Every structure is written in structure tokens, then in C-alpha cells.
Amino acid sequence: MSALAIPESRVLPSEEEVRRLVAAVLEGVAPAEPATTAPEASVEPDRSPASTESAEVAVGADHGGYRLKERIVADLRERGFAVRDCGTDSTEVVDYPDFAHRVARLVADGDCRSGIVVDGAGIGSCMVANKVPGVRAATCWDLSSARNSREHNHANVLALGAGLIGESLALDIVQTWLTTPWGGDRHARRVGKIDEIERRHLAAAGAGAVR
């Protein structure tokens, strides 16, 4: 009997059985089909301008900004915005920190989407508002600074100086500021660093519960 001869006692599988065996082996080693899942939704920054009724605007001023504040409130309401008037209610001398803080708290707490503070120069009220965690206030004197503060810096409180800009320009600044969308993208990283610096100092000072 040659080396290639097969003993008669051994029964070879049929061709059909071989095919079934090969198919079973291949099925066992073949990689599983990758599960089809819906593509993960990308998170896009909020680029929509502030709406009217759904985005209440808090507005406050000291005695120096009272008259301009009244004009801003009236103009916003005429345009359909919901407005929270935080005072003051006359030209009687008051302290701007009280009203700027009131507006800033409404924004920081989420009661109002945006805030506008008015005093003589727009600087002191801006400083006050920026002391409130979660607020990014910007003093704007023209349309370019209004657009930039919203698109690049994600400002949520606008500060105006009634003694430095006229009423017509102030109203244009307010509308430009409210309707300019947040740019996101590369600006988001930088604004994120602003927020991180704020959190770091709050933690270091133990001031997280200060109101």
C-alpha cells in the first residue's frame, strides 16, 4: 500500500459534508458585521440671536442712566421683547452697584437671558456685573464693540454710558448686541478659559456661596 493510500476501513466525508464543514468554520472565524449606529450628534454652539418673548431682558440703571434706561425699555417692548425693569425709577441720586448687581443676578441665575446696565460712563456698572459669577459684561460704545462682545466674548450683560453716547446710537447698540449670535468655534476655547479662571478664583477664595 502506498503512502497516499487510505485504509478501506476509514469512510471519507461526502463533498456536501465537506462544504458544510468549511462553511461552518468560515462562519466561526469571520469578523462580525460592525453594528450600525447613528452618527454621534455634534454639539454646536448657540448661534441664534436672542428671540423676543422667550428671552427676557433685564434692564437697570442709576440716576445718570435713568432716562436712557426708560427709552431702552420702551423700545425693547415695542419690538416685542419681554423686559424686567430693575430700576431706578427717577433721577434721584442712587448708587449704581445696587442696580447693576440686581441685573447681573437675574442673568447669572437664568431668570433672564440677557442684561443691560446703564450709568454715566458704563464702566462702574460693568465692573459690578462682572463680579457676579457667570456674568460676562462688556461696555460698548459703538456697533463694532457690540458685535464683537457677543460674537467673540459671549457677553451676556451690556453696559452703556449715558453720558458718552446719544440715545439713537444707544438704541442701535442694544439691537445690534441682542441680535448678534455667539460665534463659538475658536472663541469657545477662549471663553472657556475665562470661565475656568473664574472657577479657580472662586474655589481659592471659598466664595462660591456669596450672593
| 93, amino acid identity | V
* 3-state SS, one letter per residue, for 46-79: CCCCCCCCCCCEEEEECHHHHHHHHHHHHHHHHC
* 3-state SS, one letter per residue, for 175-189: HHHHHCCCCCCHHHH
- 154 flagged as catalytic: no
Q: Which of 63, 101, 152, 187 is catalytic?
A: 152
b/e sequence 124-133, b meaning 16+ C-beta within 10 Å? bbbebbbebb
How many residues does the structure list for the chain?
211
- Write out the catalytic residue numbers: 152
